[in-house]
Amino acid sequence: MDFLKTGYFKYYIPLKAYATYENFETKLDFIGLNYYSHPLLKMQISYSEPLYSSCYEGQEMSDYQFRLYPEGLYRAIEEISALEVPIYITENGIPDNNDTKRSLFINRYLYSLSKAIEDGFDVRGYFYWTLIDNFEWNEGFSVKFGLYDVDLDTQKRTLKPGASAYKNIIDKWKNIK
């Protein structure tokens, strides 16, 4: 993030040297934030076990081993606000093949977002990832992020029950305005 504030970036190229970029124009009109989770790694003794993300007792995990951590969205907004430009949440969603946690995810994450806005952070937009189930590069069509289910044979789209939480929040917001 320092690069975005200062225009100065330095990184190490293994077995070579440091590369430095200076005096880049850093004027931003806005910043996009993709936020899903905050990793918590479980310690392992044996290398024969794969390293995987974990969660504290009582916390929920998504199908893709993302820990539900809505407080992290608030913290990410707080940190990125140092850039002093409008913030758009460009990706935020949950892989939930059985649609059992989507409603919980949406309610908790949008509550954190509303607290950030209430606390004065300049968040101008929110985009749930994603409208329809899509192709994920590592997982193909097996991971279901979408608010709508897509039948790959017929292309029929059906609103998932868990997505109704998002619809209800939007409906309430429209009535407030």
The pLDDT tens digits for 31-87 are 999 999 876 655 555 556 555 556 666 667 777 767 889 999 999 999 999 999 999
How far, in Å, CA of 73 to CA of 174, rounded? 23
Q: Which fold, 2-176? A: TIM Barrel (3.20.20)
Instruction: State the DSSP H helix or E strand holding residue 33, giving kind and residue range, or none if neither.
Output: strand 31-34
Q: CB of 88 within 8 A of CB of 77?
A: no
pLDDT tens by residue, 121-176: 999 999 999 999 988 888 888 889 999 999 989 999 999 999 999 999 989 888 77
How many helices (DSSP H) and strands (DSSP E) are in the chain? 4, 7
How far, in Å, CA of 114 to CA of 121, rounded? 10
For the whole prediction, is pTM greater than 0.95? no
Crossing angle (nearest 10°) for helices 70-80 and 102-118 = 30
Q: Domain boundaries in the chain?
A: 2-176
Give alpha helix (H) positions in 11-69. Answer: none
